[in-house]
């Protein structure tokens, strides 16, 4: 994959995100074609009261997919709304695959909370190589392609640079973004809340004494916060590939790192096997850590600190079992 090809794909994703931006804003403010609330139609998704879909989700995904089919007729398409409605039964291949979330953070969108946006990612060989996240209400456009850097509104990421950008050595110096998810079964909520409790609890009681826990309501804004340097970590079990495929590219190109998010709490995994594993974007478990500068006189220490923080986190969060996306 040449740099020119990646630039072409990135340009396409940017163009598409900007093209549907006005419809996104109209829907958010209930104006224009979405001024009639009966037409807006926020519905429970597949009978789940905690998850919803709107006419805007469907309109934006349909528009983006129609354009992609014109431009790249041989490429595969995976989208939140069409995939969810078809039972998530697509086959994952090495072919170029566009992964789209038309409205990430739909609950935020419905409740007029601005941390919501459009996510367009491209995977080749099952790995994400292009990512665009557009948060229209915040007027933030995040763009990245493998090896070409990451930017927000043409400013290079991370936005926060040294010396303001610190090199944390423990969770007690970190802010974490995560989500409560749409699976509200008692077992899942007990597991998730147990992990949050341990993350926040003081170290003398076996916790991580996390400095701050934030829930913004969407994986895309979560990952942009980490890429900017406004949060140290993002961890979640349960999001789908369309929630974070684009964000992974942006995070990695900003100097961050991503790993498998399956926690070790309550398991019998031997200590010598408790090492952060590579991320598989289709497995719905992710932990991401921001760029960390090297400590003075210690080249490479930033990467070591990233893995150290992830290991500390995974030691005290519990894995939640989810069916992987697609058929691998």
pLDDT digits (tens, 9 = 90+) for 108-125: 998 999 999 999 999 999
Give 10-21 pLDDT, tens digit per residue: 999 999 999 999
74 assigned ligand-binding residue: no
- In the block, tokens 């926690």 appear at 263
Give 132-172 pLDDT, tens digit per residue: 999 999 999 999 999 999 999 999 999 988 888 999 999 99
80 assigned ligand-binding residue: yes
CATH class of 171-316: alpha beta
Q: Could you tell me the pLDDT band of residue 66, with boundaries at 50, 70 and 90?
A: very high
pLDDT of the residue at 184: 84
DSSP line for 151-215: EETTEESPSS-TTTS----SGGG-EEE----S---HHHHHHHHHHHHHHHS-GGGTS---SEEE-
pLDDT of the residue at 278: 97
Run of H or E including 150: strand 150-152
Angstrom distance (rounded) from CA 102 to CA 44 = 16
Q: What CATH code would you report for 3-156?
A: 3.30.540.10
The more confident residue out of 80 and 44 is 80
- Give Cβ neighbours of residue 5 (< 8 Å, ≥ 6 apart): none
- Give Cβ neighbours of residue 2 (< 8 Å, ≥ 6 apart): none
- Give Cβ neighbours of residue 152 (< 8 Å, ≥ 6 apart): 140, 141, 142, 143, 159, 224, 227, 228
pTM of structure:
0.94
pLDDT of the residue at 77: 94
44 assigned ligand-binding residue: no
- The residues spanned by each domain of the chain are 3-156, 171-316
Percent of the chain with pLDDT over 70: 93
pLDDT of the residue at 32: 85
Angstrom distance (rounded) from CA 233 to CA 230 = 9
101 assigned ligand-binding residue: yes
Angstrom distance (rounded) from CA 125 to CA 93 = 7
């Amino acid at each position: 994959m040449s740099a020119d090809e990646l630039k072409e794909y990135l340009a396409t994703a940017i163009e598409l995100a900007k093209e549907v931006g006005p419809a996104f804003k109209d829907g958010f403010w209930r104006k224009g074609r979405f001024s009639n609330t009966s037409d807006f139609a926020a519905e429970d998704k597949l009978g789940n009261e905690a998850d919803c879909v709107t006419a805007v989700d469907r309109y934006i995904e349909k528009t983006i997919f129609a354009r992609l089919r014109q431009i790249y007729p041989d490429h595969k398409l995976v989208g939140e709304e069409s995939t969810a409605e078809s039972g998530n039964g697509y086959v994952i291949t090495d072919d170029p695959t566009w992964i789209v979330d038309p409205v990430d953070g739909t609950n935020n969108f419905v409740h007029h909370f601005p941390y919501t946006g459009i996510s367009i990612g491209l995977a080749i060989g099952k790995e994400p190589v292009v990512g665009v996240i557009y948060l229209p209400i915040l007027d933030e456009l995040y763009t990245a392609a493998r090896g070409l850097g990451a930017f927000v509104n043409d400013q290079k990421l991370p936005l926060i640079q040294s010396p303001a950008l610190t090199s944390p050595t423990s969770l007690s110096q970190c802010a974490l973004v995560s989500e409560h998810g749409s699976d509200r079964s008692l077992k899942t909520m007990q597991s998730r809340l147990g992990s949050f409790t341990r993350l926040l609890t003081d170290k003398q009681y076996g916790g991580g004494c996390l400095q701050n826990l934030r829930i913004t309501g969407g994986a895309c804004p979560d990952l942009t916060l980490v890429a900017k340097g406004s949060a140290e970590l993002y961890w979640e079990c349960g999001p789908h590939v369309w929630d974070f495929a684009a964000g992974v590219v942006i995070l990695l190109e900003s100097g961050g790192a991503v790993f498998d998010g399956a926690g070790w709490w309550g398991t019998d995994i031997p200590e010598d096997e408790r090492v952060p594993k590579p991320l598989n974007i289709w497995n719905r478990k992710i932990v991401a850590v921001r760029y960390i500068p090297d400590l003075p006189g210690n080249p490479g220490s930033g990467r070591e600190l990233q893995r150290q923080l992830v290991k500390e986190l995974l030691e005290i969060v519990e894995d939640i079992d989810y069916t992987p996306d697609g058929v691998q």
